[in-house]
Amino acid sequence: MAPKIKIPATKYPVERFTLGNGLRVVLSPDRSAPVVGVAVVYDVGIRSEPEGRTGFAHLFEHLMFQGSANLEKLAHFRHVQGAGGSFNGSTHLDYTDYYEVLPSGGLERALFLEADRMRGPRLTEENLRNQVDVVKEEIRVNVLNRPYGGFPWLKLPPVMFGTFANAHDGYGSFEDLESATVEDAQGFFDRYYACGNAVLSVAGDFDVAEATAMIERHFGDVPARPAPVLPDFDEPGLTTERRESYTDRIAPLPAVAGAWRVPDPIGAFDAYLPFVVLAEVLTDGDASRLVERLVQRDRIATTMGGYLGFMGDEYLVRNPTALLLQAHLPPGGDADKVLRTIDEELDRLASDGLKPGELDRTQARMATRLLNGTDDVLGRAQPMAVLELQRGRPDLLNDLPKLISEVRAEQIVAAAATLRPESRASVEVIPGAAA
């Protein structure tokens, strides 16, 4: 038997401190290339939206780019791009992030821009109405007028979960978006966009003492506001299978996705990691179990994928979350047969165990992706900020490849045994393109 591949932990330096106003700061210097990544992450996401305001977390992300008290609309864009940099933001279930990647000489510029809008974005009726229209157009392009739009990340949660926080449409309904007011936006900012509810992270080519002085200069006088109490979003798991289907008028072929609840990714991280590896054992590459069986041998699916978390951010998500498996089927494909075959393969794995080399191959691929992902400065700044926000452990990013490599075969087998039909939520796409 070949010796197990040893995957080391990375050693990116991590320094942490907290400003007097409650803003947490993570620094990871690396002088190997003249570039810096700056990320600001706020502890608010889709799950924090109030009822009647679906899509509001994402809408507010857009408003954060519409100017501030000191900068006019589009100034943020001009200052970053004019310095040779790039920027963006994104909304997730549990956080919203904003970032810039710039030549290292642009670090202070990025810090000024983020601090300026942390003091207060320009929340006007004109900006709000404009961005509501932008978000509605995103929904049209990405969901309503795209085959399989919202499958499965918008379609599965209301099947699996019962609470508004976990089950609602994170993109939002047109009715909720159109009824949003400037007062709603100001209240959302006041509640969630507080220094005490945020993390600033900087990675790349900088001197720690100089960067610290810049951060204190630009962020130190941002008014202090405490973080809101973090709700407990947990809810009971399924004891009977839940299944729904819907017709997608522009989907050319059928599809099906199934999901199972998994252990708390923060409170029970050791129990959670085997499920992360299991998803890859099942679906990662042509030699994986479900791809080999469903796609290559039985030909009852044309594609097969699996991952943790409805938005695929397995290490940056809170409880509750799920392991998802999704398949696209050939013309006339049978979703029931696909789900039964998945159950057969899970039973086989639980009873017979892993094949020689199967786990080593999967872990090596997973570790390689993790290592590649942290090679650029943003791949360090953004996840370190979230790991600090959710766990107080930005250095966990260094340990993830090694931790993945230490998951044992018996843990994978035990995880597979818990994925039973009676605890599954599934959604089937019925194609309407031929109608």
Structure tokens at 109: 């510029």
Which two tokens mark 331?
């013309």
Six token digits for residue 106: 């642009």
Q: Give CA–CA dist 345/72, Å, rounded.
A: 57
Does residue 69 surpass a pLDDT of 90? Answer: no
pTM: 0.96
Strand order in the sheet with 242-248: 242-248, 424-431, 255-261, 322-328, 303-308
- Is pLDDT above 90 for 212? yes
C-alpha to C-alpha distance for 412 and 225, rounded to whole angstroms: 44
- pLDDT exceeds 70 at position 106: yes
Mean pLDDT computed over 393-422: 97
User: So what's the pLDDT on residue 22?
Assistant: 97
Using one digit for the tens of pLDDT, what is the confidence trace for 155-190?
A: 999 999 999 999 999 999 999 999 999 999 999 999
Burial of 344 (0-12, 13-18, 19+ CB in 10 A): exposed
Share of the chain above pLDDT 90, in %: 95
Question: What fold characterizes domain 242-431?
Answer: Cytochrome Bc1 Complex; Chain A, domain 1 (3.30.830)
| pLDDT of 1 | 46
pLDDT at residue 4 in the model: 63
pLDDT exceeds 70 at position 2: no
Q: What is the pLDDT of residues 16-46, one digit of tens each?
A: 999 999 999 999 999 999 999 999 999 999 9
What mean pLDDT value characterizes the chain?
96
Q: Is residue 205 scored above 70 in pLDDT? A: yes
d(CA 282, CA 358): 10
Q: Where are the domains of the chain?
A: 15-219, 242-431
- Would you say residue 433 has pLDDT above 80? no
Q: Is 55 left (phi over 0), alpha (psi -120 to 50) or beta?
A: left
DSSP 3-state of 46: helix
User: CA torsion sign, 48 to 52 to 57 to 60?
Assistant: negative
Average pLDDT over residues 371-376: 94
Q: Write down the CATH number for the domain with range 15-219.
A: 3.30.830.10
